[in-house]
Structure 1
């Protein structure tokens, strides 16, 4: 498994294609590949420059990306763009400050079809969070296999204090 920081941009095209392969397949088949590609690439270029950004890539024997995880330490004040506004509404500002701000935020975790069922998702997640006392991530409430995966690993859903959204927040079991 190879670790990256801002140098992830050196393999941005390859990572973007891997992202599109994961996040336009079921249950995300409603997503347009071209739009998904452009949006991820734009986010990656900004995210790679964040303080604390780190990524890990696992490759198969033939050199193809098998899986990836990216993330950073969540800064204060808590953002309200992207899905962050839904998180703030769902958990409330007190829980956000207590559980998420200053914790490692797992932003993207993906395992390509050829590597599923090998334990790679678990290894990527464990690698990204191993040296962190606190970590969190988001999942789409219709991605049932992924929700079950996080629950099997012991990730915890904080108490919902606001309106339900299509975003589920998980915090690391440690």
Structure 2
């Protein structure tokens, strides 16, 4: 197994593997997305790759993990720089409402936002998630990185906590039960 950074222009050659990993991971609870969501994600990824500060990492399988033969893409992570004018689409409006303008501007704008991280169920337990997370966040400006996840994703929250991420103790409104996590080097996460 190896994790490597990939330029946005190179991502289409990995689309089939990314699509499959996305479908495998996010069709499971608590996400419960339709497996066709992988197709929509790959379409969105093409536009995301043009965002300022975009970075992507792939976990590429060559051999065996946990008794399973692996080939191709077995995990991925993507991130980009949050714009200085905080977006309002997707879940951003709820985040802005929960944190307020001062924290959004000071903590999130200009910081690296981890958008997606997924490892195929067959490849878990080999440290790939941590390696992918590290790969896409190592260049975070002044250690400022953040992400959103669901409070219902207990295993995901445990993973990020083990990696040193800190949950902001503010509830994000909306049905998804979202929480904001700040990276281990984020100034606002330091005691």
Could you tell me whether the CA contact under 8 Å between 1:156 and 1:171 is conserved in 2? Answer: yes
Q: Structure 1's 27 and 158: CA in aligned 2 closer, same or farther, altered over 3 A?
A: closer
What is the aligned partner in structure 1 of residue 5 from structure 2? 3
Whole-Å separation in 1 of the counterparts to 2:12 and 2:96: 30
Q: How many residues are treated as equivalent by the alignment?
A: 172
2:129 maps to 1:121 = yes
Contact 2:18 2:75 in 1 (8 A): no
Distance 1:143 1:162 in 2: 15
Q: What is the RMSD computed on CA atoms of the aligned residues?
A: 1.8
Give TM-score scaled by structure 1 length.
0.90
CA drift at 1:26: 2.8
Question: Residues 30-69 of structure 1, C-alpha deviation per residue, up to 9 Å, x if partnerless?
Answer: 32112x1233123112101111111000111142212110
Mapped partners of 2:174, 2:19: distance in 1: 31
> Is residue 80 of structure 1 aligned with residue 80 of structure 2?
no
Gap change, CA 1:168 and 1:43, over 3 Å in 2: same
In the other structure, the counterpart of 2:148 is 138
Whether 1:58 and 2:59 are equivalent positions in the alignment is yes
Task: Tell me the distance in 2 between the aligned counterparts of 1:163 and 1:43.
Answer: 24
Q: How does 1:20-169 map to 2 (within 5 A)?
A: 20-28=23-31, 30-34=32-36, 36-61=37-62, 62-132=70-140, 133-160=143-170, 163=173, 166-169=177-180
Does the aligned pair in 2 maintain the 1:5–1:54 contact within 8 Å? Answer: yes
Runs of 4+ in 1 over 4 A off after TM superposition: 161-165
Q: Which runs of 5+ in 2 are unaligned?
A: 63-69, 186-191
